Amino acid sequence: MNIKKLIFEGESISLDFKKTITSCEKIARTMVSFANNKGGRLLIGVADDGTINGVKSEDEERYMITKAAHFYAKPALEPVFEEVYVDDKLVLVVDIPESAVKPHYALAEDRKWWVYVRVKDKSVLASKIVVDVLKQSANKNGVFIEYSSKEKALLEYLEKTSRITVKEYCELIKVSRRAAQRILVNMVLSGVIRIHTTEKEEYYTAD
């Protein structure tokens, strides 16, 4: 494993640097966001700017990560550890595979369980629609979409403007937010539209 090459590429949707583990809540949030996406890798002993400091106590870091994975994530996660020496400094590599039992929740400082997903190099709180998509994506039966006037209105709108938010869709078809969310979840699961999550907003485009 070429750690220096990974560091050069920088933090991303599937890579995160941690100088040290100081909080089970924070590291659980990152691990859960990886498991809810396509998986990811933590480099422990690497600062945010890419400086390799190495870990002082590999056992302590392993303990914190394992504790976070088992008690601050549900369903629990099973991180895979690897030790790599770079310029005589120990970097602890932690792989978090994509989960088959999404969504995973992380225990936050408010003692509540929240779902997180990875957006670029950040772990962000998932919206209700994203949580519903994660829950139903495990359903092997697929989704049957009946194209009513509401679905047709969405696709026609996207042909003209290329993107739409939940609020805009509610106004377009004159329904409640919950009703609009149900339609959008099914459309995402069927592969007709795609959900885009950013730190500031969430919107949808035709797939």
Would you call 155 helix, strand, or coil by DSSP?
Answer: helix
* Residue that the structure tokens 């590291």 belong to: 27
The pLDDT value recorded for residue 8 is 95
Nearest Cα residue to 129 out of 165, 160, 97: 165
What are the E-state strand segments in the chain? 15-18, 40-44, 73-74, 80-86, 89-96, 105-107, 113-119, 122-125, 193-197, 202-206
- Are 170 and 177 in contact, with CB atoms under 8 Å apart? yes
Give 202's contacts (C-beta < 8 A, 6+ positions apart): 127, 129, 130, 165, 166, 195, 196
In sequence order, the β-bridge partners of residue 81 are 94
Could you tell me where in the chain the CATH 1.10.10.10 domains are found? 135-206
- Are 18 and 64 in contact, with CB atoms under 8 Å apart? no
The pLDDT value recorded for residue 199 is 84
Q: What is the mean pLDDT of each run of 10 residues along the chain (207 residues)?
A: 93 96 96 96 97 94 98 98 96 96 95 95 94 82 73 94 96 96 92 91 92
- Are 176 and 160 in contact, with CB atoms under 8 Å apart? no
Which CATH number is associated with domain 3-125? 3.30.950.30
Which CATH number is associated with domain 135-206? 1.10.10.10
Could you tell me where in the chain the CATH 3.30.950.30 domains are found? 3-125
- Are 14 and 41 in contact, with CB atoms under 8 Å apart? yes
The pLDDT value recorded for residue 200 is 85
Give 90's contacts (C-beta < 8 A, 6+ positions apart): 45, 54, 55, 58, 83, 84
Give 111's contacts (C-beta < 8 A, 6+ positions apart): none
Would you call 1 helix, strand, or coil by DSSP?
Answer: coil
The pLDDT value recorded for residue 141 is 61
